[in-house]
Structure 1
Amino acid sequence: MVEQLQRLVVRYGESVRKPVRFRPGTWRPRLASHGAAHVLDIGVESASGPGGDRLIERGDLVRLRDHAGDDPDGLRDLFVAVMIWGSGTTNGRGPRYTEAALSDPRLPRVLRTTCVAVRGGDLSGAYRQFALKGVGRSFFTKWFAAVDDREAICDRALILDDRVFRSLNALGWSSWKAAGTRHWPTRYATYVSCMHGWASSLGVTPDWLEWLLFHLNGRVDRDLSLGS
């Protein structure tokens, strides 16, 4: 696995993550009734494309996380920002799913308990505890990654969405085989541990390696053959 990843890292080592474009006008009606429309000021105004579009990047989430601390309203705002960042302009269902989550009475408790679990290093526990309307694994692991404020030496939470999974599967890696179980919380924690180990061996950061797998979206065969 490391040898395959090494070839991909060599090929894409100079690639950089770009900010995500979003349209505040699309989100505002879904957020305003929940007192969360102010989150749409995050990021910067886009200099190109349709007027009013803004750009958001991971650094914006880090700054919002540091400002939020463990304040319930701050955590809610961070969650909304994560949903915006994860949806961009390509996931038209994002605003609707975010509104569903904001309407779920479990939201404050789920954000608080999973925040505590993630920051305490219990990623499997956080996975078990997350249950909100409209939010599946692809997005709640984004929440885990955003809310994790531990030092870089820790196995910090990473995103596991369908695109990342597609790339891992194309490389022949199976989460349930690696974890020795089909229990999803354990499989997620195993994925995070493996990614940190691979990244350390490859001399890259775990979140960059996660982004690379997301970027490739399962299209690894061509790149591996070109590198052979």
Structure 2
Amino acid sequence: MTSDLANTFGPLVTHAADIAGAADRQSVRYIESTWRSWLRRADIESSFVDKVFGAIGPDTVSRHQIRTLAEDIDSPDGRLALLIAALVWGRGTANGRMREPMLRAITHSNCDDVLQKTAQLAREGAAAEAYNAWTLPGLQAAFFTKWLWAATSLRPNTCCLVLDKRVWNSLGALGWNSLEAAGGQRNWGVRYAAYVDAMHKCADEAGQGVTAEDLEYTLFRINGNLDAL
């Protein structure tokens, strides 16, 4: 890790012992009945919906459960199940206004083509290209980066990461600038890839079992408040 990165992410490294394992300790509450009604609205077969919720379990969803679903990412049904699980995990019990945008993405005629392409790119380590290849309507980066993480979740040393407003707030509080990190390139995919790369380098520097996912979750948790580390 360069001296600039070390200075920027020093507060995270300092708290490495507490951060280690944080991502996998997280579980997200959700309301299954809400999601079932949404998926019925989208004409998703009930047997398929049963399979998804049978895999993630009632009431809460964890990263471990999403990784289990990611084992079937090479099939169209497996990709759709993984996307739905990632959206359940990402939404939690809030964001009721996201129903229609999520359903537009799930039911789009090109949905599986986009899922397959972005998953392949992400798994090849091409985070910028995967980000830029997302073309489904409705879901912005805060949600489709959850898909990119889910698609690569079985590869913890190179996985993509979630980048939402709470993570941005924490990166800003640390003084990290995506434009500078991307060498002045304004392309959002390149800037996203710079963030993913920085988190993996920071995890390597922190040691003690810290993963990039732990750092991402910590940035999400503190929401810009460094005193909460």
Give 1:105's aligned amino acid: S
- Amino acid aligned to 1:5: L
Structure 1 segment 100-179 matched on structure 2, within 5 A: 100-148=104-152, 151-153=155-157, 155-179=158-182
1:142-170 per-residue CA deviation (whole Å, 9 max, x = no partner) reads 111111156444x2211111111110001
> Aligned pair in 2 of structure 1 residues 63, 106: CA closer, same or farther (>3 Å)?
same
Percentage of identical aligned residues = 35
Question: Alpha-carbon deviations, 1:28-84, whole Å to 9, x = none?
Answer: 122121225222333333xxxxxxxx1110011000111x13101110111011000
1:195-206 aligned within 5 A:
195-203=199-207, 204-206=210-212
Matched to 1:34, the amino acid is I
1:72 corresponds in structure 2 to 76
Instruction: Answer yes or no: is the 8 Å Cα contact 2:73–2:151 preserved in 1.
Output: no
Structure 2 match to 1:31: 39
1:4 is matched with which residue: 1, 11, 26? 11
Runs of at least 5 residues in structure 1 that lack an aligned partner in the other structure = 46-53
- TM-score (normalizing by structure 2): 0.85
For 2:4, the equivalent position in structure 1 comes to: none
Structure with bigger RCO (C-alpha 8 Å, 6+ apart)? 2
SS of match in other structure, 1:93: helix
Decide which of 80, 83, 89 is 2:87's aligned counterpart.
Answer: 83
Query: C-alpha separation between the residues in 1 aligned to 2:12 and 2:153?
Result: 27
Matched residue, 1:42: 55
Query: Once superposed, what is the RMSD of the aligned Cα atoms?
Result: 2.0
Which residue in the other structure is 2:67 paired with?
A: 62
Which ranges in structure 2 are unaligned for 5 or more consecutive residues? 1-7
Q: SS of 1:56's equivalent?
A: strand
Question: Which structure features the higher share of helix residues?
Answer: 2
8 A contact 1:42–1:56 mirrored in 2? no
- 2:215 aligned partner, one-letter code: L
Check 1:118–1:13 CA distance in 2 against 1; reply closer, same or farther (3 A cut): closer
Q: Helix, strand or coil: the match of 1:160?
A: coil
The one-letter code sitting in structure 2 at the alignment partner of 1:4 is P
SS at match of 2:29: strand
TM-score (norm 1): 0.86
- Correspondence for 1:212: 218
Task: State how far apart, in whole Å, the 2-side matches of 1:208 and 1:162 are.
Answer: 17
Instruction: Count residues with an aligned counterpart.
Output: 213
Q: How far apart are the structure 1 equivalents of 2:194 and 2:19?
A: 25
In the TM superposition, residue 95 of structure 1 has moved relative to its aligned partner by 3.3
Residue equivalent to 2:196: 192
